[in-house]
Amino acid sequence: METELIFRILLLVLFVGFIAHRGYYTRKMGRPAEDTVKAREEKSTPLIANLLSLPAFLATVIYIAYPKWMAWATLPLPVGLRWTGVGLALLGFLLLQWAHQALGRNWSDTPRLLKEQSLITSGPYRWVRHPIYTAFLLIMSATLLISANWFIGLTWIG
């Protein structure tokens, strides 16, 4: 199998796995609005984040389906470095899962204070204040190495 095809398939698996993981925890651990004691006022932050993720999402889909359309942003990365990206993504998923398990019912899909919420100081929270954000950065940064495409990598990191 062609090396580039392998990395496109791995990026697709990473992409689908991330969405599935997020959806699973949103469904499994989602808390109703009435459990909210105080929600953080977001103003325009979610809108900006969604607008910034749109080019990354589209570029990734195009790269997976029609890689020649994204060839203009290709980086000449060695295969070993691209496999390092796969390792970083796996490390990010492990950290994400560990953080979710440590939080349990304290997890929320949006920043808010919940009824009967407790401060978690075990698991990755013992060493990292925001391990879920750290995991997101690892996973999104890995897209740069896996795709060997600077546009995809920078838009996801952004």
Tell me the pLDDT of the chain (158 aa) as tens digits.
699 999 999 999 999 999 999 888 888 776 666 666 666 666 666 678 778 889 999 999 999 999 999 999 999 999 999 999 999 999 999 999 999 999 887 777 776 667 777 788 899 999 988 999 999 999 999 999 999 999 999 998 87
Can you give the residue ranges of every domain in the chain? 3-24+45-104+121-157
Beta bridge partners of 36: 114
Separation of alpha carbons 136 and 119, rounded Å: 21
Give pLDDT, residue 1. Answer: 64
**What is the rounded distance in angstroms from the CA atom of residue 141 to the CA atom of residue 85?**
8
pTM, whole model, 2 decimals?
0.86
pLDDT at 70: 95
Residue indicated by tokens 């808390």: 31
